[in-house]
Amino acid sequence: MMQAHSGQTASPLLAVRDVSVVFGGIVALNGISFDMKKGQILGLIGPNGAGKTTLFNCLSRLYQPSKGDILLEGDSILTRPPHRISEMGIGRTFQNVALFPNLTVVDNVRVGTHARSNSDIVSDSLRLPWIRRGEKDMNKRVDDILGYLELRHVAHTVVSGLPFGTQKRVELARALATEPKILLLDEPAGGLNHEEVYILGDLVRKIRDDRGITVLLVEHHMGLVMSIADHVVALNFGRKLAEGTPQQVQNDPDVIKAYLGSKDQ
């Protein structure tokens, strides 16, 4: 899919440029730069407190970096208001499932058209593009996505009654419903059992393969990252520790040291 033209490099879909975030006195991110190519699955790893969620929140416009820029197809996303995030083509899921528990699956997926929740970031990330295109089109697209993620049989089930793994798939469906160019996944494997993690990995790869969607995967589950990521960026203490193929990063002495020194492995 990626073609190398002689003497030219394809411009990145997303470019993170020297991004820093400071909270009070804490430097949560310190001059982070990396590129994401179209169609790539990029794994963002690092021990607890490394800055993964902070970076994720910059990409989804929840945090404004103190320094640096984030470019989507060459345009800064930081000058755009957070409620335009889904229109810009960035879809996200949440580390802790953020569905509307008393609504059915189908209503959760289509809720973006009139989402109002306590959290603006949830509403902002759910504005569906189809509102302009009419209800009939919307119903068909929701149905397509439910079929694609094998959720049709629970379409009219209230979300709170579903197993956690299924709820995570509903969240994925809701993010896909915003028709993103880039899908941001924050610890999608959290709370899933071994088999569910395996199914999720297949699904993320399928979404990329079928739809050409670029994926940023923040994940503690090293097995998942190493099996589906094309490219891995490792953070530690807010800095980029290493970057490369899963094998390169896994074997990087600094990465090994960082993980040995942390309690979460």
How many DSSP H helices and E strands does the chain contain? 10, 10
Question: Site residues for ligand ATP, window 54-93 (CB under 6 A)?
Answer: 54
Site string for Mg ion, 3-42 (x = CB under 5 A): ----------------------------------------
Q: Does 23 bind ligand ATP (CB under 6 A)?
A: yes
Q: Which is nearer to ligand ATP, 50 or 255 (CB)?
A: 50
CA 72 to chain centre: 14
Binders of ligand ATP: how many residues, by CB under 6 A? 11
Q: Does 247 bind ligand ATP (CB under 6 A)?
A: no
How far is it, in rounded angstroms, from Cα 7 to Cα 17? Answer: 23
Bridge partners (DSSP) listed for residue 186: 218
Q: Which is nearer to ligand ATP, 65 or 89 (CB)?
A: 65
User: Which member of 13, 34, 52, 217 binds ligand ATP (CB under 6 A)?
Assistant: 52
Take residue 249 and report the two structure tokens written for it: 């990063």
Taking Cα atoms as reference points, which of 160, 216, 161, 190 lies closest to residue 39? 216
Q: Does 262 bind Mg ion (CB under 5 A)?
A: no
User: Which member of 30, 53, 113, 123 binds Mg ion (CB under 5 A)?
Assistant: 53
Contacts for 240 with CB less than 8 Å, ≥ 6 apart: 32, 33, 34, 233, 234
- In the complex, which residues of this chain contact ligand ATP (CB under 6 A)? 23, 26, 28, 46, 48-54
